[in-house]
């Protein structure tokens, strides 16, 4: 395959970025999208040019590091797919592909396609954990939890923190990310002790980071690679309001 790549290049957070055109030949349909970028970078290095910076780690759709806007869509055209799990067979020979970083009020471009998602870490630090003693694994397993509850909590916990929800939302909201973390622990007996404190702390931190408000368009759910449901946002709002009233 031969492709025309229009890639966002930005030297650092304070410089002005621009779209740069590249011609790439020899792309195989079974390559992942990131392998295609690797091929481009090999070409650029051989030509003594600066390679394109982009985030990646596991390349198995688990870590959430690989978020890129591809032709105007977070993670590209396929539903329930991370950028690293997107393959070049989803594109046509001779196609032009626009590649840009995730954008959001709290997401700053570090270089090229690489962004700063540390705001997510600070939201988790604000309360996305259980600090009470729940015992070792055998002791924890003695706590009765219904199958339905366990499955629902697992569905919420499936969020990988990639930021597609923020990048897709027209307000740059982190509501789905924050809600999935709050809902996951609120549904389990081990997390109920700190539910009110957690909801207040995490939502307040989300607002302090500069994320926008939820738009209720469900765009976050559509482009979430784990297909996290927006019903988690309903649960977050309920937990937050309940905690705020009882202060």
Per-residue pLDDT of 33-44, as tens digits, reads 999 999 999 999
The structure's pTM equals 0.93
Q: Which of 225, 222, 242 minimizes the C-alpha distance to 234?
A: 242
The CATH number that domain 118-245 falls under is 1.10.1060.10
Q: Are strands 2-9 and 96-101 parallel, antiparallel or unpaired?
A: parallel
Domain with CATH 3.10.20.30 in the chain: 2-111
- Tokens representing 107 are 């997401």
Residue pair 74/57 in contact (Cβ under 8 Å)? The answer is no
Write down the pLDDT at residue 169: 95
Reported as a single tens digit per residue, the pLDDT across 165-176 is 999 999 999 999
Write down the pLDDT at residue 105: 83
The CATH number that domain 2-111 falls under is 3.10.20.30
Distance from C-alpha of 190 to C-alpha of 5, rounded to nearest angstrom: 49
Beta bridge partners of 100: 69
Where is 119: in which H helix or E strand? helix 118-127
Q: What is the mean pLDDT of the chain?
A: 95
Reported as a single tens digit per residue, the pLDDT across 42-76 is 999 999 999 999 999 999 999 999 989 999 999 99
Given CA atoms 53, 166, 96, 57 in this order, what sign does their dihedral have?
Answer: positive
Distance from C-alpha of 81 to C-alpha of 224, rounded to nearest angstrom: 8
Reported as a single tens digit per residue, the pLDDT across 130-146 is 987 777 777 767 778 89
Q: From residue 95, how far is each of 2, 84, 127 by CA, in Å?
A: 8, 19, 45
Domain with CATH 1.10.1060.10 in the chain: 118-245
């Amino acid at each position: 395959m031969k492709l025309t790549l229009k890639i966002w290049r930005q030297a650092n957070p304070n410089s002005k970025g621009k779209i740069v055109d590249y011609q790439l030949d020899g792309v195989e349909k079974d390559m992942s999208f990131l392998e295609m970028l690797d091929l481009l970078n090999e070409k650029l290095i051989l030509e003594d040019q600066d390679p394109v910076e982009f985030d990646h780690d596991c390349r198995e759709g688990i870590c959430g590091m690989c978020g890129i806007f591809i032709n105007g869509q977070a993670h590209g055209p396929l539903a329930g797919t991370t950028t690293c799990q997107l393959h070049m067979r989803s594109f046509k020979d001779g196609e032009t592909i626009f590649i840009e970083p995730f954008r959001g009020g709290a997401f700053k471009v570090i270089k090229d396609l690489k962004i700063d998602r540390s705001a997510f870490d600070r939201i988790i630090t604000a309360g996305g954990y259980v600090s009470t003693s729940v015992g070792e694994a055998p002791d924890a397993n003695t706590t009765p939890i219904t199958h339905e509850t366990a499955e629902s909590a697992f569905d919420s916990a499936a969020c990988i923190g990639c930021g597609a929800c923020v990048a897709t939302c027209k307000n740059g909201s982190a509501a789905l990310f924050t809600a999935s973390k709050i809902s996951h622990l609120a549904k389990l007996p081990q997390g109920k002790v700190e539910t009110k404190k957690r909801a207040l702390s995490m939502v307040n931190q989300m607002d302090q980071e500069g994320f926008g408000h939820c738009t209720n368009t469900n765009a976050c759910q559509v482009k979430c690679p784990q297909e996290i449901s927006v019903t988690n946002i309903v649960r977050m709002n309920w937990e937050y309001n309940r905690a705020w009233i009882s202060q």
